[in-house]
């Protein structure tokens, strides 16, 4: 598994914020501004290394949570190991990062989530109080990539974040000071490991009154969930894809992997970390925009395998999570992805040669717009009328690349007082295809047929499916039985086209055509 040891910038969704909270970029207080304040107190911090001696090898941050210093941050330092700073009365979060100067020895991170400054106070940060973070995958041959420990403290309606991102597994941690309020301290740890064939994403979360003092987790294979990420390679698209895998929630670090397509990346992940997000960058032709797909909030279960495929046929319209067409007053907006991949993932920048959307009102042309596939905006006369919207996208390529996709909807619509979905539908074809978008020639193939949008959930008056083996020059009707059609594939190297004609119970219609939906091999 060819993993990068540096996570993509996009994967560190909110990490930049966390780094700014603990880094030198935070504004330090001008403590002279508090000199006249009656309620400022001396905070003295002494730092001890693992031998119990004072050390200058530390970075300590004190962040205000409540009181006059809320939201501010200071990083006092003195080479003697003891430093003093005057701060206003209030609740603070203190964290201190100590090193030995030898990277092999690791580092110590001590967190005091509750520091109530209401008098002159002395705090001792002692590396001898820490315990190791020992989180490792079951495969002893796995190598450590990177990881991070994160702490979120909430008090009085305010939340503060701190973190440490680590390049070695040698981290020791400890809680300091009194316990905070129940449930006010949330802490999590993410670590990524890899072998030649498998990645490990190990993450754990904790909520309570104290920061962690050490952490030990040695999951067995049965404790982990398997997440497979498949990258397809349609004709002319083989190359190197890129994958980002990250937990869905919280400040985090993720992992980035290069994947030669067609290919499969396998990860073992911890269900305890919650759901997971995948971002997939398909191989791009020279000079072409990078095409990105996303799958977010993926639930996993220990002992189970979840598979996600990207950039494979059958490409076509998809209405998952969107109305498709919206009427707002006398404006009509069309937004239907025409080239969602076979698993329904919507591409950020699909390759195409030409795309247009045309609108008719009561049989009269309103207008035609060219540009992004399935996207257009029109202004229409007020009042109720019958409309026909036709969106088309064409792209050159071998069969199996959806060389032409057309969706034509009819519906009745009148002026609205706000954004109102228009009743449109889409049909998804989901045959089991190879990673190159092919099916076995001269063999029987079952193609599941799924209806989305206005006609789903039993609101279908009629549905007819047809197949073509001559790029749409002629069509043959095939019966829809138990949610699928069954066809006999033609000889090898032939593109198979699919058409759906649908009427819902409200009388709205759809005619949808995918030319060269897949090819035979």
Confirm whether 368 is domain-assigned: yes
Annotate 283-313 with b (16+ C-beta within 10 A) or e (fewer).
bbeeeeeebbbebeebebebeeebebbbbbb
DSSP H or E run through 428? strand 425-429
Query: Is residue 23 scored above 80 in pLDDT?
Result: no
Query: Is residue 86 scored above 50 in pLDDT?
Result: yes
Under the phi-then-psi rule, with left for phi > 0, alpha for psi from -120 to 50, and beta for the rest, what region is 379? Answer: beta
Please provide the distance, in angstroms rounded to a whole number, between the alpha carbons at the two ends of the chain.
Answer: 29
pLDDT value, residue 103: 60
**How much is the mean pLDDT over the chain?**
91
- Per-residue pLDDT tens over the stretch 43-71: 999 999 999 999 999 999 999 999 999 98
Number of domains in the chain: 1
Confirm whether 276 is domain-assigned: no
The DSSP bridge partners found for residue 245 are 255, 278
Confirm whether 281 is domain-assigned: no
Query: Is residue 2 scored above 50 in pLDDT?
Result: no
Confirm whether 376 is domain-assigned: yes
Query: Is residue 459 scored above 80 in pLDDT?
Result: yes
SS3 333: strand
Confirm whether 337 is domain-assigned: yes
The percentage of residues in the chain with a pLDDT greater than 70, rounded to a whole number, is 91
Q: How confident is the model at residue 31 (pLDDT cuts 50, 70, 90)?
A: very low
Confirm whether 336 is domain-assigned: yes
Pairing type for strands 354-361 and 364-370 reads antiparallel
Angle at 83 between CA 81 and CA 84, to 5 degrees: 165
Domain boundaries, position 330: 325-520
Residue closest to 511 by CA, chosen among 429, 412, 409: 409
Confirm whether 456 is domain-assigned: yes
pLDDT value, residue 104: 66
pLDDT value, residue 371: 87
* pTM metric for this prediction: 0.86
Please list, in sequence order, all residues whose beta carbon lies within 8 angstroms of the beta carbon of residue 284, skipping any fewer than 6 positions away.
Answer: 239, 290, 291
* Joined tokens for residue 175: 């809680």
Residue closest to 395 by CA, chosen among 350, 334, 429, 349: 350
Confirm whether 407 is domain-assigned: yes
pLDDT value, residue 401: 77
């Amino acid at each position: 598994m060819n993993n990068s040891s540096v996570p993509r910038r996009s994967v560190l969704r909110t990490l930049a914020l966390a780094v700014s909270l603990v880094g030198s970029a935070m504004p330090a207080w001008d403590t002279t501004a508090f000199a006249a304040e009656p309620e400022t107190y001396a905070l003295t911090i002494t730092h001890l290394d693992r031998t119990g001696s004072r050390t200058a090898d530390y970075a300590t941050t004190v962040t205000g949570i409540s009181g006059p210093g809320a939201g501010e941050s200071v990083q006092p330092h003195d080479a003697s190991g003891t430093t003093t700073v005057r701060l206003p009365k209030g609740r603070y979060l203190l964290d201190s990062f100590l090193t030995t100067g030898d990277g092999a020895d690791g580092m110590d991170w001590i967190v005091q989530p509750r520091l109530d400054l209401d008098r002159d106070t002395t705090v001792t940060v002692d590396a001898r109080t820490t315990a190791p973070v020992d989180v490792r995958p079951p495969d002893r041959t796995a190598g450590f990539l990177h990881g991070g420990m994160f702490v979120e403290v909430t008090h009085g309606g305010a939340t503060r974040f701190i973190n440490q991102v680590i390049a070695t597994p040698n981290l020791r941690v400890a809680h300091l000071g009194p316990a905070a309020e129940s449930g006010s301290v949330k802490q999590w740890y993410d670590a990524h490991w890899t072998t030649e064939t498998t990645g490990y994403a190990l993450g754990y979360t904790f909520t309570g009154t104290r920061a962690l003092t050490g952490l030990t987790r040695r999951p067995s294979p049965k404790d982990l969930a398997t997440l497979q990420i498949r990258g397809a390679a349609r004709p002319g698209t083989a190359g190197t894809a890129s994958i980002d895998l990250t937990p869905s929630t919280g400040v985090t670090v993720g992992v980035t992997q290069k994947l030669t397509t067609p290919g499969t990346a396998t990860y073992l992940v911890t269900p305890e970390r919650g759901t997971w997000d995948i971002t997939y960058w398909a191989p791009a032709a020279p000079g072409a925009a990078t095409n990105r797909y996303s799958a977010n909030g993926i639930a996993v279960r220990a002992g189970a395998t979840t598979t996600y495929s990207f950039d494979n046929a059958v490409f076509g319209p998809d209405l998952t999570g969107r109305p498709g067409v919206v009427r707002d007053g006398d404006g009509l907006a069309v937004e239907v992805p025409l080239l969602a991949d076979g698993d329904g993932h919507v591409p950020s920048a699909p390759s195409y040669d030409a795309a247009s959307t045309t609108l008719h009102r009561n049989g009269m042309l309103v207008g035609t717009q060219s540009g992004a596939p399935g996207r257009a905006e029109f202004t229409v006369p007020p009042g109720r009328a019958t409309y026909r919207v036709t969106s088309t996208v064409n792209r050159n390529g071998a069969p199996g690349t959806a060389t032409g996709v057309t969706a034509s909807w009819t519906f009745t619509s009148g002026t609205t007082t706000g954004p109102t979905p228009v009743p449109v539908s889409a049909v998804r074809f989901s045959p089991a295809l190879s990673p190159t978008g092919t099916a076995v020639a001269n063999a029987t193939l079952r193609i599941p047929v799924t209806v989305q949008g206005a006609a789903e959930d039993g609101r279908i008056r009629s549905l007819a499916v047809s197949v073509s083996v001559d790029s749409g020059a002629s069509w043959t009707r095939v019966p829809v039985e138990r949610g699928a059609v069954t066809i006999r594939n033609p000889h090898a190297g032939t593109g198979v086209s699919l058409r759906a004609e649908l009427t819902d119970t409200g009388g709205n219609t759809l005619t949808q055509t995918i030319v060269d939906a897949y090819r035979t091999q």
